[in-house]
Amino acid sequence: MSNIQLKAPLTINWAINNNCNFACSHCYSREDTHDDLSRDVLLACLEKVAKAGVFSINFGGGEPLLRSDLLEISAFSSSLGLKVSMNSNGWFIDENMAVSLKKAGFTKVGISIDSHIPEVHDKFRGVPGSHARALAALMHLKAAGINTSISTVICRINSETIDELVAMALAAGVSQLNFHNFKCSGLGMSNKDELDLTPDEWKVFYKDAIAAKHSVKDLDISLDDPIIALLDARDAGTLVKGSVCGKLSLNIKANGDMTPCGFIPIVIGNIVSDDLQQVWKDSDILDRMRNKQPTGKCSGCSKYEDCLGGCTARALALTGDMNNPDPHCWGSETKGE
């Protein structure tokens, strides 16, 4: 299963715009200044993607709700048989909008929340009142019958508050709490020293997060970081080894540029002019991501088969070589031990 080469991605993370009403310190897309695709071009691209066999689209941005045609784009996507979800900061989702999103085919909406403490979240996002609006958005979405999740990028302001984040997620009635690893792209890179944890701190965080994952019922705590293989915590059901980027999923930017994931700034084609299946099959970069080679401490690590050197985006951003060990990795497990 891990080695099958699919004819097209299963899912696409699609940043349909770059503009945002927030100013987050870890934003990976704020520095992106290309023009967004027009409505007509975007709809034609969605048709292309559905034809290629893609199952689902997760819209992101920027803040996707700042596109006035978002509902139309979503309704069109679901009419093509695509499963539609999005990540939003929640600011614009009131009761009416939640109902409209449901009608437009959204099956799942994830809201980004960085801290259980309103003041901390608001300061981090640069907008007073944003925490309260994010929680209200979750309530409206749930009432409208949309599956909800909370996404939290783990960094220095929240890594020691797992229990509190879990309690907030349970109170908000979400089905999933996503702990995203800190990727060091865009502003995340500029603010890395202030925000990122040390490898040993990552170890402590993941130990605690895994314990919470096992003990908390009624909430799916999702950890998308391959280095948790070091703690023997990769789910048996994990679909592929290492990162999913370029194996199951692909990223499309607001101007149509395709990149392996939102955190790897290497353009491998453009959805307007290129054939998705062709790019997916022939891209050298994707090929290298699918066939990583162990270097340094990964070469002797017994977890390599599961971990594949960890997060490719992070290794590339911080070391310049995607095959290098993930800089968050706190150790290595010697083969044969």
Count, residues in the chain = 337
18 or 243: CB nearest another protein? 243
Q: Which stretch binds another protein (CB under 8 A): 12-20, 52-60, 117-125, 179-187?
A: 52-60
Residue whose tokens read 């080679």: 293
Rule CB under 6 A: choose which of 16, 301, 317, 318 binds ligand SF4. 301
Cβ nearer to another protein, comparing 46 with 195 = 46
Q: One symbol per residue from 209 to 248: x for binding ligand SF4 (CB under 6 A), - otherwise; what is it?
A: ------------------x-xx------------------
Which secondary-structure segment (H or E) carries 317?
A: helix 312-319
Q: Would you call 78 exposed, middle or buried from its count of C-beta atoms within 10 A (0-12, 13-18, 19+)?
A: middle
Task: Go through 93-120 and write b for each residue having 16 or more CB atoms within 10 A of its CB, e for each that does not.
Answer: beeebbbbbbebbbebbbbbbbbbbbee
305-324: contacts with ligand SF4 (CB under 6 A) = 307, 309-310
Closest CA to 141 of 98, 89, 102: 98
Does residue number 90 form part of the binding site for ligand SF4 (CB under 6 A)?
Answer: no
What is the C-alpha to C-alpha distance for residues 169 and 150, in angstroms, rounded to an integer? 7
Count of residues near ligand SF4 by CB under 6 A: 15
Across the beta sheet with 11-15, what order do the strands follow?
220-223, 176-180, 147-153, 106-112, 83-88, 56-60, 11-15, 249-252, 257-259, 269-270
Q: How far is the CB of 125 from ligand SF4 (least distance, A)?
A: 31
Sign of CA dihedral 208, 213, 219, 220: positive
Nearer to ligand SF4, 70 or 230 (CB): 230
Q: At what angle do helices 95-103 and 130-143 cross, to 10 degrees?
A: 50
For another protein, the closer CB: 20 or 54: 54
Name which of 231 and 272 has its Cβ closer to ligand SF4: 231
Is residue 48 within the footprint of another protein (CB under 8 A)? Answer: no
- Give the amino acid at 222: S
* Beta carbon of residue 115, minimum distance to another protein (angstroms, whole number): 27
Binding site for ligand SF4 (CB under 6 A): 227, 229-230, 297-298, 301, 303-304, 307, 309-310, 325-326, 329, 332
Binding site for another protein (CB under 8 A): 1, 4, 6-7, 10, 53, 55-56, 83, 235, 237, 239, 248
